[in-house]
Amino acid sequence: MDSHNPPVPPSKPPEKPPKKVAKSVEERPQNAHYSDVQRLQALALYEAGIPAAVAAERAGIKSAKTVSNIVKKAQSRGYDRNVSTVLKLEYVSDGVRSGRPRKADKKEANGTAGDAAVDIDQGRPPQSI
C-alpha cells in the first residue's frame, strides 16, 4: 500500500431527482391546454400591440406561434378589430370535442350517484318517459 494515496470510498449510484410538477411555461407538456383566461389575455395583449412572444410570456403560454394560432382562431370565430374591440369568450373558448361520450360508472347507471340526477349531455334533470 502506498501511504500517500488514501483509500477511495465505494461510489454510490446517482440518486434520481424528484419528479417535477409542470408549473412554469418551460416545464409545460407539449400538448398542454390553456385556460380561456390565458387565451383571452394573450389575445388582448397581442391586439394592444404587444409582440406575440411577449404576449405569450405574460399570459403563461409556451410560444409565440400558439398566440398567433389563438388570434387566427378568434378571427375565424368572428373577431374583427376593425368592427369592434370587444373580446368575447366565444372567440377563444375550447371547441366542442367530438368522440364517444364517457362511460357512466355503476353508481350513475343505477341512479345512486347523488340526490339529484342530471343529464350529463344536457346539464339538466332527465325527462321521465
Model confidence pLDDT, tens digit, residues 54-105: 999 999 999 999 999 999 999 999 999 899 888 888 888 887 778 887 777 6
| Overall average pLDDT of the 38-55 stretch | 93
SS3 77: coil
Distance of alpha carbon 103 from alpha carbon 113, whole angstroms: 14
> What's residue 118's pLDDT?
47
> What's residue 19's pLDDT?
59
Distance of alpha carbon 105 from alpha carbon 114, whole angstroms: 13
Q: Give yes or no for a contact between 53 and 64, defined as CB atoms under 8 angstroms apart.
A: yes
Q: Which 8-state DSSP code applies to residue 99?
A: S
> What's residue 119's pLDDT?
47
Residues ≥6 apart with Cβ < 8 Å to 63? 53, 56
Locate 128 and state its grid cell. Answer: 321521465
| Overall average pLDDT of the 5-27 stretch | 62
Distance of alpha carbon 6 from alpha carbon 22, whole angstroms: 44
Q: What is the average pLDDT score of the chain?
A: 76
CA 68 to chain centre: 16
